[in-house]
Structure 1
C-alpha cells in the first residue's frame, strides 16, 4: 500500500463490473493502492442511478481523496459515452456516463473500458513498464479482453476477443471460462491459445504480449506451452489493474 503524504498524487479508481464494484484510492506515483479496497455486489438492477449511489458512498468514505475519479465499465466507451455493454443494465447503452457521473458526484469523472484500464496500468506500472513499441495486454476470463498500446499510448476499444478464427469467436473457444467449462487440460487449452495468439501476432506484430486476468497467477502452468514468436509474460497487477488503470486515467 502506498503512502498518502502527497494527496495531489492520489486519485480514486472504481472498477465497475457485472458482478462487483470495487474502489480504492491509488497512489499514482507508486502505482498501487493507497487505501484498503472496498467491494460491494453490483445491484441486480445496475441502473446508472443505483450505481451512482454506490460510487457516492465509496467516495464519502474517502474524503481525503479529492480531484477527478476514474471508472471502468465492462463495455465499449467512446468519449465518455457507453456503447455495447451486455453485462450491465441496458440503460447504460448510448448513455453519456462521463456527464451523468460528473454531475452526480460533483467532481470530474472519466469512464473507460475495463480491459483498456487494465492494459494501461500494466504498461504504466506493471509488467510492460518501460517497454516501448507495440504492447498487447489480453485479459483471459469470462471472455478475452484486450488493450493495445504503442509506446505507452492507448488505442481504445480494441476488442480482440471477438476475432473470428476458423469460424469461431475467439473468446467463446479460448477463454478461461471455456477452459474450465470444457475441462481442458492446460496443454489442450494452450493449443487453443497458441492459435489465438498466432492470429493476433500476424495482425499486429506486437513486441510484447501481457496475459492478465485471474489466471495470470497460474501462468507458469500454461505460459510456456503457448508456441509463438513474440515474448509473452504474465501481468503483475492482477485484480488491482482495473482500479489502478482507472485512477491513472482519471485526469485524462
Structure 2
C-alpha cells in the first residue's frame, strides 16, 4: 500500500562532535518518539560513523526517508570539510549516497546548523542560527529560505584564532565559563553589527552556559527543536524552503 504524504515518517539524525542524536518525525516535524543518542565514535571515520548510526537506530520504528545534519561544509550531500571530526577522513565523502546504501532509504545530508535553522526559525525576515557545541555552527535564512552556507567558524577573530578556537568546546574547557562568557558577548556584538539580523537563535549544548542577559531578538533553542528541521527537507516543491540533492536507493 502506497504511503500518503501525511503518513511519511522521517529519520532525522544530528551528527555532533561528541554525540549522534536521532528521532523519528512526521512530515510536520512532530516527534513520533523521544530522540535518542550514542557517543560519536573515535576515530570518527565514515565507516565508524555509519556503524554507530545503525547501532543507534536498531530498535527505532519504521521510517521512509532520512535527513542528516553534519558538522561541516556539505555540498549536494557530499562532505567537503569536517573540522571537528577530521577533514582528512571526510573530504569528498558522499555521505548521502553511503547512508542511502546502508539504510535503504532516500537520504539528504546538510550542514547541522542549516538543519537546525530549518527547524527553529519563524520564517520572517533575516534570521540567523548559531550552535555552540564542539565547534561554532552558523546558518542564515531569509523569510524561511535557507541561504548559501558559509563556514563562519573559520573566520579569524584574533591573531592565530578563528571562532572555533575562540569559543568552541576546547576554549571553554581551557579558559573557564566566566572568560568564555566574556568572549561570547564580544562575538554577539560582532554578529549584530555584521549581519543586522532580525532574530538570532542560539542552540547547541553550551548555550545553557550563557550567563548574561540576551537581547529581545535573541532566543535559546534546544537540540530537540533543531532536529525537527529534518522534516522540512522533505516538503514538496510548493512548500519547500530549500532544495537539496537527494540520494535514492538503487534497485
TM range (shorter): 0.7 to 0.9
Distance 1:203 1:7 in 2: 40
Check the 8 A contact 1:75/1:83 in 2, yes or no: yes
When the two structures are superposed, what TM-score results if normalisation uses the length of structure 1?
0.78
Aligned counterpart, 1:135:
127
Aligned ranges for residues 1-252 of structure 1 at < 5 Å?
8-29=7-28, 31-65=29-63, 67-88=64-85, 90-123=88-121, 129=122, 131-167=123-159, 168-175=161-168, 177-185=170-178, 188-219=179-210, 221-224=211-214, 231-235=217-221, 238-250=222-234, 252=244
Secondary structure of 1:110's counterpart equals: strand
Secondary structure of 1:222's counterpart equals: coil
Aligned counterpart, 2:238:
none
From the superposition, tell whether residues 170 and 13 of structure 1 become closer, same or farther in structure 2 (CA, over 3 Å): same
Q: For structure 1, list consecutive stretches of 5 or more residues without a partner in the other structure.
A: 1-5, 124-128
Moved more, 36-45 or 151-160: 36-45
From the superposition, tell whether residues 21 and 179 of structure 1 become closer, same or farther in structure 2 (CA, over 3 Å): closer
- Structure with the largest fraction of helix: 1
Instruction: Give the paired residue count.
Output: 230
Deviation at 1:13, TM superposition (A): 0.5
Q: For structure 2, list consecutive stretches of 5 or more residues without a partner in the other structure.
A: 236-243, 245-251
Aligned CA-pair RMSD: 2.7
Check the 8 A contact 1:134/1:206 in 2, yes or no: yes
Deviation at 1:155, TM superposition (A): 1.8
Deviation at 1:110, TM superposition (A): 0.6
Deviation at 1:55, TM superposition (A): 3.2
Check the 8 A contact 1:117/1:241 in 2, yes or no: no
From the superposition, tell whether residues 248 and 176 of structure 1 become closer, same or farther in structure 2 (CA, over 3 Å): same
